[in-house]
Amino acid sequence: MGYRLSKLYTRTGDAGTTGLADGSRVGKDSPRIEAMGAVDELNSCIGVLLAGLTSSALQPVHAALAPVQHRLFDIGGELAIPGVDIIEAADVTELETLIDGFNAELPPLKEFILPGGSLPIAQAHLARSVCRRAERRYQTLAGKETINPQALAYLNRLSDLLFVTARSIARLEGTAEVLWRPKPKPVE
């Protein structure tokens, strides 16, 4: 096992910097720390979603998303140790396989879908939107430093998986998806 914190506060970050796992210090608002924070927030959103997927009907979604939390922690590890790559093309392919499997069970999408219908559906959409932010933060970092392109691809596919799982939750629950209704045009 790796290093474990025995003391939670160190006071070393009081001046606005934080330590990376390689011993270097960076500003708490650096692109690397922004990306780490967004990935951590995404992992928390997925944890909340998973905690609500308690019915047996939703177990396929739970089983698909549970390993994702571990891969997100791996991405956090990559970000904490510059130059270390953990996510591989096979991890991206695994998400694509999940997307294809869930999507094959869904009706074709003909309308825009709004987050809602049930709490788990809304939580999946929230996780999807936080995933898009994590991807943007990772892309910002990629413009300044060398990063693992597979981790960026993983985040991109994960947002697609979260969209498809939101739709799958609706199907498995028997809940109607909330479809966007554009504002009516004024009558002239």
All structural domains of the chain with their residue ranges: 25-103+112-175
Task: Over range 145-165, report the average pLDDT.
Answer: 97
CA distances from 184 to 112, 116, 188 (A): 16, 21, 12
Mean pLDDT, range 129-154, rounded to an integer:
96
Residue 1 scores a pLDDT above 50? no
- What is the model's pTM? 0.88
End-to-end Cα distance, the chain: 70
> 46: closest CA among 130, 170, 115, 167?
130
Evaluate if residue 41 carries a pLDDT over 60. Answer: yes
pLDDT in tens, 101-138: 999 999 999 999 999 999 999 999 999 999 999 999 99
Residue 14 confidence (pLDDT) above 90 = no
In the predicted model, is pLDDT for residue 74 greater than 90?
A: yes
Confidence of residue 7 (pLDDT cuts 50, 70, 90): low
> Which pLDDT band holds residue 4 (cuts at 50, 70, 90)?
low
Pick the CATH number of 25-103+112-175 from 1.20.1200.10, 1.10.10.10, 3.90.1170.40, 1.20.210.10: 1.20.1200.10
- What's the rounded Cα separation, in Å, for the pair 116 and 170? 9
Percentage of the chain with pLDDT > 70? 88
